[in-house]
Structure 1
Amino acid sequence: MINRIRAIRKQKGLTLAELAAACDPPTTAQTVGRLETGMRNLSLKWMDRIAAALGVDPETLVRSEANDRAQVVATLGPDGAEPLASTRDALMPTEIGGDAVRVVLAIETSAGEYRAGDQLWLRQLAPEDAAQAINRDVLVPRKGGRFAFGRLIDRRGSLVGVLPVGAGQKQVVVDDPAWIAVAEMLVRPL
């Protein structure tokens, strides 16, 4: 099995020392370095500690040699596409952020900036955390198994105001939703 700790750590912009300090309990940069290089065995206990510090699922730290991952080969900047000095594994949408529940909204009809065929990955928040989603696209469960989708424009007490993405639509007010899912990633086939 190939260990992906270094690739994930670098993709998240962490140094060995920062990752070591983020472990619970904290460890040393040397220990993390030995785990990354395979000089020390990556036990299940270490996988859990390192994964928690990186905010990913433990199974994302290892992969089979037979399964090739998508590679990041270039970056797009103001001067166009530039090659990376060395390629790195691309993180899958499910590997990006911690233990939050994720839901996916499949777009069947173009609306606003979304096109038919898009998938919108959303992260669930508790209703009391809705302030961090103001002016972002959200999916909110409504009574009777329905949903409201659009820009979160208001949060007052137990009421949540969502402005649908289609032109000329009226605000939808949801009373006391069980959760609010904020858009994090758009997957669009070309």
Structure 2
Amino acid sequence: MSNRIRDIRKAKGLTLADLAAACSPPTTAQTIGRLETGTRQLSLGWMNRIATALGVEPASLMRDAAVEPPRIVAELGATGPEALATPREALAPSALAQEEGPAPLVLAVTASIGEYRPGDLVWLRPLEPGETRVLARAVNRDCLVPRPGGRFAFGRLIESEGARVRLLPPGAGQKQVVVDKPAWIAVAFMLVRAI
């Protein structure tokens, strides 16, 4: 049975050396290359080490031979679409979303608002509030924030001062929303849109 290590590594923008260094304990780029190509046996121990380094479930490293995976056949650049010398496997959003920490949240869009269309799924990664460094990564990005009474606020995080955050909703003409001491903040990192 073949594996998907190379496809997942490339989809995450990692080199062989990056993945080797991310393993615990670190290994060599040559070892990762041999595991990817099948010239070295992929044991359960290696599967767990590599899956942890990639931030995915170990089962996602294996490819089902009975199912033909979706393929990336071209890349669209500034000069137009360019064929790939060798098509590569396209990964499902769920395979890319796995990381350490809390599970991703998904916001389903049911009406056109701002840049969002009905049927869009906005994937969000929860952050721990209060850490200045963490909140700095969320500024000027779309965020979902819980409000009292089981409600939510969604919009562009425009300011974070102390325990208070300000969001600019995606709809035109809407007023900014201020939330005091949110339990968490989830930052949008992926949009899934059916065409």
TM-score range, shorter chain: over 0.9
Aligned partner (choices 181, 191, 195) of residue 186 of structure 1 = 191
Counterpart amino acid of residue 99 in structure 1: E
Distance verdict in 2 for CA 1:184–1:13, change over 3 Å: closer
| Other-structure match for 1:137 | 142
What is the CA-CA distance between 1:156 and the residue it aligns to?
Answer: 1.0
| Other-structure match for 2:22 | 22
Distance 1:104 1:11 in 2: 21
Distance 2:14 2:145 in 1: 34
Question: What is the TM-score when the length of structure 2 is the normalising length?
Answer: 0.90
2:124, 2:143 within 8 Å by CA — same for their partners in 1? yes
Distance 1:17 1:74 in 2: 26
| Other-structure match for 1:34 | 34
Gaps (5+ residues) in structure 2? none
What is the CA-CA distance between 1:57 and the residue it aligns to?
Answer: 2.5
Question: What is the TM-score when the length of structure 1 is the normalising length?
Answer: 0.92
Following TM superposition, the consecutive aligned residue runs of length 4 or more in structure 1 with deviations greater than 6 angstroms are: none
What is the CA-CA distance between 1:47 and the residue it aligns to?
Answer: 1.1
Q: Percent identity over the alignment?
A: 64
1:72, 1:89 within 8 Å by CA — same for their partners in 2? yes
Give the count of matched residue pairs: 190
| Other-structure match for 2:87 | 87
Q: Does the residue aligned with 1:63 lie in a helix, a strand or coil? A: coil
What is the CA-CA distance between 1:10 and the residue it aligns to?
Answer: 2.8
Counterpart amino acid of residue 28 in structure 2: T
Aligned partner (choices 128, 147, 165) of residue 160 of structure 1 = 165
Distance 1:106 1:15 in 2: 33
What is the CA-CA distance between 1:146 and the residue it aligns to?
Answer: 0.7
What is the CA-CA distance between 1:29 and the residue it aligns to?
Answer: 2.5
Aligned partner (choices 120, 123, 126) of residue 121 of structure 1 = 123
Gaps (5+ residues) in structure 1? none
Distance 2:183 2:59 in 1: 29
Counterpart amino acid of residue 180 in structure 1: I
Distance 1:14 1:153 in 2: 31
Structure 2 residue 108 is matched with structure 1 residue 106: yes
| Other-structure match for 1:2 | 2
Q: Which moved more, 1:8-17 or 1:139-148?
A: 8-17
Alpha carbon RMSD of aligned pairs, Å? Answer: 1.6
Alignment of 1:52-67 (within 5 A): 52-67=52-67
1:57, 1:99 within 8 Å by CA — same for their partners in 2? no
